[in-house]
Amino acid sequence: MATLTYHGHSCFHLVTGDGTRILFDPWLDENPKADISADEIGELDYILVTHGHFDHYQDCLKIAKATNAQVISTFEVVSHLGGQGYENVHGMNIGGGYDFPFGRVKLTIAHHTGFIEEGFYAAPAGFLIHFKDGKRLYNAGDTALTLDMQLLRGEVDVALLPIGDNFTMGPEDAARAVDFVEAGTVVPMHYGTFPPIEVDPQEFVRAVGDRARVEVMEPGGTLEL
């Protein structure tokens, strides 16, 4: 059985049923909600990055170098890492999929921005992952509500959705995303880290109602998938 551990904001650590260790959107050392530091991550096999904003990417290179994990992201993000001397990467683009040893990864549309540093833009993305054990995970990344999410209906068991508003969809739009995707289990993320996204996750729970099981995770908390 796979386990998902939340480290605050949008950072998750997933251990698949076959023991593959995957980290999503590593931002820990300057994350006020993180329960651990980047140095405490331990061994990893893969790092998946939705986009280049600091609160999803800042600790990627540090952790990648320490673990030699393969970084999976858009072509531009992994090119940025290559420019910093890290070569264990796999670049993809929106709508494309690839079969990795742990399962199939497909990049989905995310309506957001993707600035990494001055003069370096990388389009944001989400991840749709079909694991070898049959479980299906959708990490929406930072995104607005979009009708494209309806294309994922029937493809998702667990969805990680931003609810913080201001920079992404808020609780009401995220609840509509639940209707579009029809995942059985939903985990809210990207909220409560700093003042513009101070949102009560119970607003999201109430908005979803009985249409899905909402798991509000605290940093350090683990969920069996």
Q: Which two tokens stand for residue 119?
A: 């003069």
Would you state the pLDDT for residue 137? 98
Q: Output the pTM of the full model.
A: 0.97
Beta pairing, strands 46-48 & 136-139: unpaired
**Mean pLDDT for all residues in the chain:** 97
Percent of the chain with pLDDT over 90: 96
Rounded distance, CA 12 to CA 55, Å? Answer: 13
Would you state the pLDDT for residue 44? 98
3-state helix, strand, coil in the chain (%, to 5): 25, 30, 50
**What is the CATH T-level fold of the domain 3-215, as seen in this structure?**
Metallo-beta-lactamase; Chain A (3.60.15)
pLDDT tens-digit map of 140-160: 999 999 999 999 999 999 999
Beta pairing, strands 115-117 & 120-121: antiparallel
Residue 170, CA distances (Å) to 68, 144, 197 in order: 35, 8, 9
Question: Number of C-alpha atoms within 13 angstroms, CB side, residue 96?
Answer: 10
pLDDT tens-digit map of 91-136: 999 999 999 999 999 999 999 999 888 778 889 999 999 999 999 9
pLDDT tens-digit map of 187-210: 999 999 999 999 999 999 999 999
Residue 145, CA distances (Å) to 8, 20, 198 in order: 22, 31, 19
Rounded distance, CA 72 to CA 105, Å? Answer: 9
Domain limits of the chain? 3-215
Would you state the pLDDT for residue 115? 85
For tokens 């070898």, name the residue. Answer: 132
Are 190 and 163 in contact by the 8 Å Cβ rule? The answer is yes
Are 215 and 12 in contact by the 8 Å Cβ rule? The answer is no
Would you state the pLDDT for residue 62? 98
Would you state the pLDDT for residue 187? 98
